């Protein structure tokens, strides 16, 4: 589907360093499973702390996962020296987030110099079977990395 | 603005028990500041773990806060025996989430037997000054509490 | 992608009658190109009246088209005796709507007894080449057709 | 609520000329009732052509109205020489659009050099009584008016 061209060969290492370096990534226990040009796959193992109770991932956690998956996919098409900021995301919860893990797949719908729109689907994986639990659209804006910041300090 | 009538006098205790009982509330460190009929105020103190780095709350955390504020406001108008499920939320980030805490205020726009729509505004409080950092719309659906579940197990 | 099962063989005729019978369909000049189980394709030829000026379809028209494409796709999975009501749609405009026609394709993401979520992509076709100009998510709710209403009177 | 400062005293004439000059405004029969710094009020009288049947404004029409109200409100804060482009809108339909007219009120939530976020509420007026029928959030982007274009050619 996506035949996007990244700016350079370092896109994967750059996005991986960024995502894995975010403190929120560690708090959630988020894993970056796969990156391609314009696409991403993230995995979030279930822990009770991420739930609203009853073994169900809380909706805001599912939305946060979709946001990060969208940002990761969009980030693969960024040139070095730019970072992303989410400006908008919409998430529709279509089934309870019940399972051993959530899997979020981001796919750039339309890249842009300033704004990039990405769709992200979130699946709940239970006993080896995936079930769609949320669909999302994420808009990110590219901003120039402040020179004073460390490469991993952005968004 | 909101002249909504709760079903009974227990609405505040019920929503408070539900929100404070969610494991995600504890993971985030979320505080329930105020509840009224159709309205809510939640506070989220800054911790580096909630950031994307650089002292900024991560966008997905801001969205999760808006979702919970929306759900809390909608929950105040629920009868006993029903719980809410978020079916949709849209969040627009309008300024960086930089400050000592986030304050989210939910306000029911339109209650309904099945679907309720709530708006939530998120402010970043820095040195005593609040700045709007996100606006959101949240749709929740009321569902009957399964008899087998404990009163606080839903959402 | 979609391997949805319609309720009966009449689904296409039912949705076609509904969409083509809406007065707004005639005002816009909307054409229903294709329906399948869980999917739709609509075409909207350019007229200056649909523009904001400058030969560009106005954003609200693009959103209305996405809404109708989403509703048409969702409608194919409805049983006879129910109609749909849009409860929510989000549309992201990713390129100017410039061309001889817009083509909207709706695809059900998740059908439900009450709420169905559909994605709709809108393309601007110019000199035989399609270009994505908007992506949307549409949520519809099934409601029982009032007995007193004519079959085509719903939403 | 809004204590926004327009760039100059011509803001009202500029937005009025723009909105009333759009061909879609005439097709819909839209009236611009009021403009202030960061706010707008638009009125759309009912005609069967704007309906889905049954005397109800069609959802896409309601969304288009919200989009235009949002754009009009945002437009009041633009400097001369810039026009707006909608990049995103979300509309939640909370009650049937039944009445003699729709009234849409846009209010800027956060103006920005590039992106401005506006909320828009749509009311159905029936026998002199207004009822909220939709809430929306609209994001617009300011773009420099191409020199070659006439002042009213943008959006």
Residue keyed to tokens 């099962």: C5
How far, in Å, CA of D123 to CA of D142, rounded?
27
Q: What is the pLDDT of residue A155?
A: 40
Determine contact: C153 vs chain D, CB below 8 A: yes
* B143 membership: H or E segment, kind and range: strand B129-144
How far, in Å, CA of B16 to CA of B12, rounded?
6
**Chain D interface, mutation test: which of B109, B113, B123, B124, most D Cβ atoms within 10 Å?**
B109
Q: Which of D51, D11, D54 is nearest to D29 (CA)?
A: D51
Summarised one tens digit per residue, pLDDT across range B93-152 is 999 999 999 999 999 999 999 999 999 999 999 999 999 999 999 999 999 987 545 444
Q: Contact, A153 vs A138, CB < 8 A?
A: no
pLDDT at B17 over 80: yes
Chain A residues in contact with D141 by the CB 8 A cut-off are: 115
* CA C106 vs CA B112, C122, C135: distances in Å: 28, 9, 10
Q: What is the pLDDT of residue D147?
A: 53
Between residues D135 and C149, which one has the greater pLDDT? Answer: D135
**Chains touching D, CB cut-off 8 Å, 3+ pairs:** A, B, C
Chain A residues in contact with C92 by the CB 8 A cut-off are: 88, 109, 117, 137, 139
Instruction: Give the list of residues 6+ apart from residue C71 with CB closer than 8 angstroms, or none.
Output: C19, C84, C86, C106, C118, C138, C140, C155, D59
Q: What is the pLDDT of residue D154?
A: 39
pLDDT at D132 over 80: yes
Say if the Cβ atoms of D115 and A87 lie within 8 Å.
Answer: yes
Q: How many CB atoms lie within 10 A of CB D82?
A: 15
Determine contact: A119 vs chain C, CB below 8 A: yes
- Beta bridge pairs of residue A89: A138, B91
* CA D76 vs CA A109, D19, D39, D43: distances in Å: 31, 11, 7, 18
Band of the pLDDT at D97, cuts 50, 70, 90?
Answer: very high
How far, in Å, CA of A67 to CA of A74, rounded?
11
Determine contact: A13 vs chain D, CB below 8 A: no
Residue of chain D nearest C18, judged by CA positions: D52
Query: What's the average model confidence in pLDDT over A60-79?
Result: 97
Q: Provide the edge-to-edge strand list for the sheet that holds B101-110.
A: A31-36, A39-45, A101-110, A115-126, A129-144, A82-93, B82-93, B129-144, B115-126, B101-110, B39-45, B31-36
* C34 membership: H or E segment, kind and range: strand C31-36
Band of the pLDDT at A154, cuts 50, 70, 90?
Answer: very low
Chain D residues in contact with A90 by the CB 8 A cut-off are: 90
Q: What is the pLDDT of residue D146?
A: 72
Both tokens assigned to B102: 């986030």
Query: What's the average model confidence in pLDDT over A89-110?
Result: 98
Q: Contact, B104 vs B69, CB < 8 A?
A: yes
**Chains touching C, CB cut-off 8 Å, 3+ pairs:** A, B, D
Cα-Cα-Cα-Cα dihedral sign, residues B17, B21, B26, B28: negative
Q: How many CB atoms lie within 10 A of CB C55?
A: 13
Query: What's the average model confidence in pLDDT over B17-24?
Result: 96
Q: Contact, B106 vs B152, CB < 8 A?
A: no
Both tokens assigned to C10: 């009449």
* CA D125 vs CA A44, D52, D128: distances in Å: 47, 18, 6
Determine contact: A135 vs chain C, CB below 8 A: yes
pLDDT at A153 over 60: no
* C19 membership: H or E segment, kind and range: helix C11-21
- Beta bridge pairs of residue B142: B84
Chain A to chain B Cβ contacts (< 8 Å): 134
Q: Buried b / exposed e across B67-101, counting CB within 10 Å, b at 16+?
A: bbbbbbbbbbbbeeebbbbbbbbbbbbbebbbbeb
Q: What is the pLDDT of residue A146?
A: 73
Summarised one tens digit per residue, pLDDT across range B26-63 is 999 999 999 999 999 999 999 999 999 999 999 999 99
**Chain D interface, mutation test: which of A110, A113, A115, A143, most D Cβ atoms within 10 Å?**
A115
Instruction: Give the list of residues 6+ apart from residue D48 with CB closer than 8 angstroms, or none.
Output: C23, D55
Q: Contact, B131 vs B123, CB < 8 A?
A: yes
Chain C residues in contact with D120 by the CB 8 A cut-off are: none
Q: Buried b / exposed e across A138-149, counting CB within 10 Å, b at 16+?
A: bbbbbeebeeee
| CA–CA min distance C14, chain A (Å) | 26
Share of chain C above pLDDT 70, in %: 93
Q: Which of A87, A89, A101 is nearest to A133 (CA)?
A: A101
Q: Which of D89, D109, D104, D86 is nearest to D38 (CA)?
A: D109
What ipTM was reported for this prediction?
0.92
How far, in Å, CA of A138 to CA of D44, rounded?
31
Determine contact: A87 vs chain D, CB below 8 A: yes
Q: What is the pLDDT of residue B147?
A: 53
- Beta bridge pairs of residue C111: none
pLDDT at A128 over 60: yes
* C15 membership: H or E segment, kind and range: helix C11-21
| Helix (H/G/I), strand (E/B), else coil: C127 | coil
Residue of chain B nearest D91, judged by CA positions: B137
Summarised one tens digit per residue, pLDDT across range C56-108 is 999 999 999 999 999 999 999 999 999 999 999 999 999 999 999 999 999 99
Q: What is the pLDDT of residue A42?
A: 98
Say if the Cβ atoms of D139 and A87 lie within 8 Å.
Answer: yes
Q: Contact, B54 vs A26, CB < 8 A?
A: no
Q: Contact, D4 vs D37, CB < 8 A?
A: yes
pLDDT at B155 over 70: no
Q: Contact, C19 vs C32, CB < 8 A?
A: yes
Q: Contact, C14 vs C37, CB < 8 A?
A: no
Chain C to chain D Cβ contacts (< 8 Å): 137
pLDDT at D2 over 60: no
Q: Which of D110, D109, D104 is nearest to D132 (CA)?
A: D104
CA dihedral D13, D17, D20, D24 (to 10 degrees): -140
Q: Which of C70, C64, C63, C66 is nearest to C35 (CA)?
A: C70
Q: What is the pLDDT of residue A147?
A: 53
Q: What is the pLDDT of residue B2?
A: 55
Query: What's the average model confidence in pLDDT over A78-102?
Result: 96
Q: Would you tell me which residues 18-57 of chain A have a C-beta closer than 8 angstroms to some C-beta of chain D?
A: none
């Amino acid at each position: 589907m996506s035949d996007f061209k990244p700016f350079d060969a370092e896109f994967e290492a750059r996005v991986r360093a960024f995502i894995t370096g975010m403190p929120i990534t560690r708090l959630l226990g988020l894993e970056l499973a796969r990156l391609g040009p314009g696409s991403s796959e993230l995995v979030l193992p279930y822990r009770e702390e991420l739930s609203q109770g009853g073994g169900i991932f809380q909706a805001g956690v599912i939305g946060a996962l979709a946001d990060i998956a969208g940002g990761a996919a969009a980030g693969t098409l960024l040139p070095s020296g730019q970072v992303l900021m989410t400006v908008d995301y919409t998430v529709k919860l279509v089934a309870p987030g019940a399972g051993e893990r959530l899997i979020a797949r981001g796919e750039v719908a339309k890249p842009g110099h300033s704004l990039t729109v990405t769709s992200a689907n979130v699946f709940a994986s239970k006993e080896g079977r995936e079930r769609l639990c949320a669909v999302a659209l994420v808009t990110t804006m590219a901003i120039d990395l402040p020179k004073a910041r460390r490469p991993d300090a952005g968004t």
